[in-house]
């Protein structure tokens, strides 16, 4: 039987709920699988390359990523840990929780990650380029951190004010 997918609401900066730390997933049950499927659908609909559960107000260590051009190569990370990293690379990042803003951020250039997949099996992979950036960005979300935390407080305040203005208009 196929379950229906739901499009989830993505929290936007400066929402305090984006600052919560996600807990480790203890058991991959149907509820977690439904969350993963809904997150993937939500990410595709929003034209994002990654989404962390924190962004949909679920504070568990779950991430969905798809950096493929065809959007047909999803990667699911449960309880991810970076076990090796090296190099440093600057690139421009955006975030579905900070819509419309892009800033340069430094990240490790190569990382090795250990995580559980959708079936609960442990796996490891090496990531470079966009995938490496994306994994680090999404793992930050699970720790309550946003890419705007890496830029100057002046720039961050400017983004905060602009988004607050938009959120206010949306309510009216
Ligand atoms: Ni993000």
Helix, strand, or coil here: 61?
coil
pLDDT tens for 16-42 read 999 999 999 999 999 999 999 999 999
How many A from CA of 1 to the centre of ligand 1?
32
How many A from CA of 27 to the centre of ligand 1?
25
CATH 1.10.3720.10 is the classification of domain 16-171: no
Residue 83's CB is within 10 A of a number of other CB atoms, namely 10
The answer on pLDDT for 156 being more than 70 is yes
138 noted as active-site residue: yes
Average pLDDT, the chain: 96
pLDDT tens for 39-74 read 999 999 999 999 999 999 999 999 999 999 999 999
How many A from CA of 49 to the centre of ligand 1?
9
Specify the DSSP class assigned to residue 135.
Answer: H
The answer on pLDDT for 127 being more than 60 is yes
Residue reference for tokens 């959007």:
71
Task: Sort residue 97 into left (φ over 0), alpha (ψ -120 to 50) or beta.
Answer: alpha
Name the percent of the chain lying above pLDDT 90: 96
The pLDDT of residue 172 is 77
Q: Which of 119, 129, 138, 164 is catalytic?
A: 138
The token duo for 15 is: 């929402």
pLDDT bucket at 144, cuts 50 / 70 / 90: very high
Residue in 21, 49, 23 with CA at minimum distance from that of residue 137: 49
Cα angle for residues 141, 145, 150 (degrees, 5° grid): 125
pLDDT tens for 97-120 read 999 999 999 999 999 999 999 999
The answer on pLDDT for 129 being more than 60 is yes
CB 112 within 8 A of CB 126: yes
- Residues 6+ positions from 13 with CB-CB distance below 8 Å: 95, 97, 98, 146, 148, 159, 160, 163
Q: Rounded distance, CA 92 to CA 33, Å?
A: 31
135, 114, 77, 47 alpha-carbon torsion, rounded to 10°: 20
Report domain extents, the chain: 16-171
pLDDT bucket at 171, cuts 50 / 70 / 90: confident
């Amino acid at each position: 039987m196929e379950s229906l997918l739901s499009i989830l609401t993505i929290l936007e900066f400066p929402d305090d709920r984006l600052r919560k730390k996600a807990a480790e997933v203890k058991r991959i049950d149907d509820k977690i699988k439904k969350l993963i499927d809904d997150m993937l659908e939500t990410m595709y609909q929003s034209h994002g390359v990654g989404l962390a559960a924190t962004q949909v107000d679920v504070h568990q260590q779950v991430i969905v990523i798809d950096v493929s051009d065809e959007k047909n190569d999803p990667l699911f990370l449960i309880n991810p840990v970076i076990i090796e990293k090296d190099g440093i690379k600057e690139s421009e990042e955006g975030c579905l929780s900070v819509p419309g803003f892009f800033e340069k951020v430094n990240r490790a250039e190569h990382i090795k990650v250990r995580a559980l997949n959708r079936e609960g099996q442990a796996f490891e992979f090496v990531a470079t380029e966009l995938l490496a950036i994306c994994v680090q960005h999404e793992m930050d979300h699970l720790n309550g951190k946003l890419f705007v935390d890496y830029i100057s407080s002046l720039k961050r305040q400017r983004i905060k004010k602009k988004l607050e203005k938009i959120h206010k208009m949306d309510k009216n």
